[in-house]
Amino acid sequence: MHNVKIIHVFVKIGSALAKPTWLSVLVNGEEYGMGLASTSLDLRFQPAVAARARRLSVSDIDHYNRQGFVQPFDVFGADEMARIRAYFDKLMSDLGPDGAYGINCYQARMAGIWDIATDSRILDLVQDIIGPDIICWASAILSKKPEGSRRVPWHQDASFWQLSPARTVTVWLAIDDADAENAAMCFIPGTHAQGVLETADMGADSVFHKGIADAERYGAPFVNSLKAGQISLHADMLVHGSDINRSNRRRCGLTLRYCSPESQITDPDWAKGVEAIIARGSDPSGHWRHHPRPENDDILATSSPHVVGNN
C-alpha cells in the first residue's frame, strides 16, 4: 500500500484569491505536483453520444471523444467576417492598451458578442456534444499582435475553473486566418482524458504563471489551423497552448465557453464574475441566471465582470 498524503495550499490566480488548490501527492517518500485543481471538482471527461448528433458526423463525434477536439467547421462567410472583424477591431481600439490582447467575458454586456454566442450555426455543433440545453458562461477575444506577443503555455482550462462536473466545450472562432506561422492554438491530442497533469512555473514571456512543462511527452502537438470564419471545438481538459507570434500577421480569435446545466459553479465568490446566457433550451436545475440580450454595444459604457480563472 502506498503512503499517500494530499497537501492543500491556496494559490493566487489573477488578482483574486481562488479556491483551486495545488495538489501535492506523496508516494513512497516522493512528492509529485498535480497542478491546479480542487479536490471537490469532477474533472472526468464525459464522451459525446453519437446517436443524438444531428450536425456532427459519427466520425466527428468519435474524433472528439478520442482526441478531445474536432475541426474545422465553416460558420461565417466572408462578408459576415468583415463585419465581425471590424466590430472587434473597434472594441480593441476603444479599450486601448487594456484591450490589446484579451477582452474577457463581455458576452452578456455587448450585443454583438451576445449575437455570436447565440448564433444557431454554432449552437447546432455544440448541441451535438453537450445536449440541447446550452449555457454560454464565458467568452474572450484573444489577439496576438505580429512580431512579439507572449506565449500561452500548455494548460488545461478546467483545472483553473470552479465548475463541476467538467462538461465545458470551448468554441474557437478564427477572426483572422490562424496557422503555425502566426501562432495558431495547438492541442496535445488525447490529453483530455488523462486527468490533471503536472504543472510548473513559467517564464516572463508567458501569459500564465503556471503551465504544463514538456507537454510534448504526452504526444505530438496538433496545429489548430483555421480560416477566418471557421471554428474548432475542444474539451475543457485538453492540453493546449500557443507560441509567440513571430510572423507579420495578427492572429485574433474569439473563444466561447459552453456547458450543459449539469455543470454548476462550486465557489460563490467565483460565481460573482460569471454572467451566463441560456443560449438554447432551458436550465431545469435553476442554477444558471440568464442574461437577456443587452441593448448596449459601446464597450466604454460597461466593464468586464472579470471571471476568476478565465483564460
pLDDT confidence of residue 12: 30
Distance CA 274, CA 311 (A): 13
Domain locations along the chain: 39-194+219-301
C-alpha cell at 207: 501569459
Q: Which residues in the chain land under pLDDT 70?
A: 1-39, 307-311
Q: Is the dihedral of CA 25, 26, 28, 32 positive or negative?
A: positive
Residues 6+ apart with CB under 8 A from 28: 2, 3
Question: Do residues 134 and 127 touch, judged by C-beta distance below 8 A?
Answer: yes
- With 0-12 CB in 10 A as exposed, 13-18 as middle and 19+ as buried, what is 27? exposed
pLDDT confidence of residue 311: 46
Q: Which of 281, 275, 233 is nearest to 256 (CA)?
A: 233
Question: What is the CA angle 161-114-16, rounded to 5?
Answer: 30
Residues 6+ apart with CB under 8 A from 71: 224, 226, 230, 231, 232, 233
pLDDT confidence of residue 302: 95
CATH number of the 39-194+219-301 domain: 2.60.120.620
Provide the β-strand partners of residue 151: 206
Is the full-model pTM beyond 0.75?
Answer: yes
pLDDT confidence of residue 203: 81
pLDDT confidence of residue 308: 54
